Amino acid sequence: MTRTDYFKMIFQVFKDSVPVVTSGILTVVLLSCVLFGVQMYFNFPPGVLSVGATVFQNGHLHRLVTYPFYHQTSAQLLLNVTALVFLSGSLEKGVGTMRFLFSFFLLSTTTGLFYSFLDLLQSDGGQSPAEGLVPVTLACVALTTMHTKMTKGFLCGVTFPTMALPWVLLIVTTALVPHSVLPCNIVGILVGWLYGKGCPSLLNIGEEEDPPSTDQSNTRVLPGSGLRSIVQR
C-alpha cells in the first residue's frame, strides 16, 4: 500500500465517522449559540431559563420552549451540541427538516412539562433545574429506536440490543455533560418512547430497504450514532 492510498483510507474512515450537519440541527445549534451569546452579553443570572418547579410556581411557561437552547457554560454548550449532532441526525433524515423541527418542539416541551411537574412533587423541597439539548437528544434517540429495523448494536466492543441504546447513552451523557440532570434525561427517553408508540403516522420515520442478500444477517451503521448494528431477519 502506497502512502497516498494510506492517507485516502484514513480520510475515508474520518469522513464516514463524522456526521453530516443537516438543516434542522444547524438551526437548533445556531439558536443555542445566539442565546448563549445574548446571556453572556447581558449577564443573565444562573438558571434563568431552566425548567423545574418554578414553571408552575411562578408561571414561567416560556421556559418550556427556551430551556433546550439555554446553556450556562461554554463547555456545556459544546458537549450538548456535539451530542445533538452525533445522535439526532438519523431522525431528521427519516422525517425531513420541517417534521424534525416540529418533533423537536413537541419532544422538548413535553419533556420539560413532565419534568417540571416531577420536580414540583419532590417531598424534600430540593429543586433541580434542568436545561440543555441532552434531554431532547435522548428523546430523539428513543424515538428513532422505536422505528428502526436494527436489533443489535456495538459500542466500544460491547454488544447490546438497539432498544437499550438510549439507556447506554443516558449513562454516558449524564456522566460527561456538565449540569446534566439525570431525572430529566430519563423523562426525555420515556417521552421519546411515548411518541414513538403513539404517533407513528405523525412522524412516519422510514428506512431505505436493504438490497437482497443471501446472508442471514447484515451489518449496517445506525445513522447519526456512529454505532455499528446487525439487522437480523
Which string of DSSP letters, residue by residue, matches 23-60? HHHHHHHHHHHHHHHHHHHHTPPTTTT-BSTHHHHS--
Dihedral pair phi/psi, residue 171, rounded to 5°: -65, -45
* Whether the predicted model's global pTM rises above the 0.85 cut: no
pLDDT, residue 6, reads: 58
Rounded to an integer, what distance in angstroms lies between the CA atom of residue 61 and that of residue 75? 27
Domain assignment present for 86: yes
Domain assignment present for 37: yes
Domain assignment present for 38: yes
Q: What would the grid cell of residue 111 be?
A: 419533556
By the 8 A CB rule, do 143 and 88 touch? no
Domain assignment present for 20: yes
Domain assignment present for 232: no
* Percent of the chain's residues with pLDDT above 70: 71
pLDDT, residue 111, reads: 96
Please state the domain count of the chain.
Answer: 1
pLDDT, residue 213, reads: 37
Instruction: Find the domain containing 11 and state its range.
Output: 3-120+132-196
Domain assignment present for 18: yes
Domain assignment present for 125: no
Domain assignment present for 182: yes
Average pLDDT over residues 45-72: 93
